[in-house]
Structure 1
Amino acid sequence: MASSFMDFRRLSCFVAVVEQKSFRAAALKLHISQPPLTRHVQMLEESLGVQLLVRSAAGVEPTAAGQLFFEEARNLLALAQQAGERVKLAGQGRIGRLDVGVFGSAVLGAIPKIVRAFRERLPNVEVVLHSLDRAAQLKALRERRIDVGFNRFFTEEPDLAWEVIQTEPMSVVVPERHPLAKRASLSLAELAREPLVLYPRAPRPGFIDYLMRLFHDRGLTPQRVQEVDDVLTAAALVASNLGLSLVTESGRSLSIPGIVHVPLAPADRATVALCIIHRRFDDAAIPRAFVEVARSLGQAATEADRPGKRRRSR
Structure 2
Amino acid sequence: MNLSTIEMRHLRYFVGVAEAGSFRAAAERLHITQPPLTRQVQQLEEMLGTELFVRRSRGVELTAAGRMLLDDARNILILTEQALTRSQLAGRGELGRLDVGVFGSAGLDFVPRIIQDFRRLYPQVEVVLHSLDRDEQIKALSQRRLTVGFNRFFGDEIGLEWEVILTESMHVAVPALHPYAELKELAFSALEGQPLILYPRKPRPGFIDHLMRMFHTQNILPKVEQEVDDVVTAVALVAAGVGLCLVVDSACNLSLPGVVYVPLRKQDKATFNLCLIRRSDDHSPLLEAFIKVARVQRGSKNGGLQLIR
TM-score (ref. length: structure 2): 0.67
Take 2:186 and 2:261, find their aligned partners in 1: how far apart are those partners?
10
- Other-structure match for 1:55: none
Distance in 2, Cα, partners of 1:91 & 1:246: 52
What is the CA distance between 1:90 and its match in structure 2? Answer: 6.9
Equivalences for 1:290-301 in 2 at 5 Å? Answer: 290-301=290-301
Secondary structure of 1:226's partner?
Answer: strand
Residues of 1 paired with 2:226 and 2:288: CA distance?
A: 40
Question: In 1, distance between residues paired with 2:175 and 2:263?
Answer: 14
Cα drift, residue 157 of structure 1:
1.8
Tell me the residue number matched to 2:217.
Answer: 217
5 Å-filtered alignment, 1:1-20, equals none
Aligned partners of 2:201, 2:83: CA distance in 1, in Å? 41
Tell me how far 1:186 sits from its aligned partner: 1.5
Seen in structure 2, the aligned counterparts of structure 1 residues 222 and 109 have a Cα distance that, compared at 3 Å, is same
Q: Taking structure 1 as reference, are residues 90 and 142 closer, same or farther at Cα in structure 2, changes over 3 Å only? A: farther
Partner of 1:108: 108
Map of 2:42 onto structure 1: none
- Please report the RMSD computed on the Cα atoms of aligned residues, expressed in angstroms: 1.9
Are residue 234 (structure 1) and residue 261 (structure 2) matched?
A: no
Q: Deviations over 1:21-52 (max 9, x none)?
A: xxxxxxxxxxxxxxxxxxxxxxxxxxxxxxxx
Q: Tell me what 2:133 maps to.
A: 133
Deviations 1:77-96 (A, max 9, x none): xxxxxxxxxxxx97995821
Distance 1:248 1:240 in 2: 20
| Counterparts of residues 148-167 of structure 1 (less than 5 Å) | 148-167=148-167
Equivalent-residue separation in structure 1 for 2:161 and 2:117 (angstroms): 22
Per-residue deviation at 1:195? Answer: 0.3
Q: Deviations over 1:86-108 (max 9, x none)?
A: xxx97995821111111111111
Superposed displacement of residue 185, structure 1: 1.7
Q: Is the 8 A contact 1:168 1:302 kept in 2?
A: no
Query: Does the residue aligned with 2:299 lie in a helix, a strand or coil?
Result: helix
Aligned partner letter, 1:128: V
Give the Cα–Cα distance (whole angstroms) in 2 for the partners of residues 288 and 273 of structure 1.
Answer: 21
Measured in 2, the distance between the counterparts of 1:248 and 1:197 equals: 14
- Residues in 2 aligned to 1:268 and 1:189: alpha-carbon distance in whole angstroms: 9
The alpha carbon displacement at 1:265 in A equals 2.2
Contact kept? 2:198, 2:224, Cα under 8 Å: no
Instruction: Output the CA distance in 1 between the equivalents of 2:257 and 2:108.
Output: 17
Which letter maps to 2:278?
Answer: H
Q: Give the 5 Å matches for 1:28-107.
A: 95-107=95-107
Contact residue 108 and residue 250 of structure 2 kept, 8 A:
yes
The separation in 2 between residues aligned to 1:266 and 1:166, in whole angstroms, is: 17
The SS at the match of 1:294 is: helix
Percent identical across equivalent pairs? 53
Distance 1:192 1:206, change over 3 A: same
Listed one character per residue, the Cα deviations across residues 46-75 of structure 1 (whole Å, up to 9, x for unaligned) are xxxxxxxxxxxxxxxxxxxxxxxxxxxxxx
User: Is the 1:196–1:245 contact (alpha carbons within 8 Å) kept by the matching residues of 2?
Assistant: yes
User: Structure 1: which 5+ residue stretches go unaligned?
Assistant: 1-88, 305-314
Q: Give yes or no for contact 2:153–2:206 (8 Å, CA) kept in 1.
A: yes
8 Å contact kept, 1:181–1:260? yes
Instruction: Tell me the amino acid that sits aligned with residue 180 of structure 1.
Output: Y
Contact kept in structure 2, 1:167 and 1:302, CA below 8 Å: no
Aligned AA (1:294): A
Q: Which residue of 1 aligns with 2:251?
A: 251
- How has the CA–CA distance of structure 1 residues 155 and 232 changed in structure 2, closer, same or farther, with 3 Å as cutoff? same
Q: Which range moved further: 293-302 or 274-283? A: 293-302
Equivalent residue, structure 2, for 1:37: none
Alignment partner of 1:263 is 2:275: no
Tell me the residue number matched to 1:118: 118
In 2 relative to 1, CA 164–303 (structure 1 residues): closer, same or farther, beyond 3 Å? farther
Residue 166 of structure 1 contacts residue 301 of structure 1 at CA under 8 Å; is this kept in 2? Answer: no
Displacement of 1:207: 0.5
Aligned to 1:176: 176
Whole-Å separation in 2 of the counterparts to 1:206 and 1:281: 27
Larger Rg: 2
Query: Whole-Å Cα distance in 1 between the matches of residues 231 and 84 of structure 2?
Result: 41
CA contact (8 A) 1:194 1:244 kept: yes
- The amino acid of 2:112's aligned partner reads P
Q: Secondary structure at the match of 1:144?
A: coil
Q: How much does 1:293 deviate?
A: 0.8
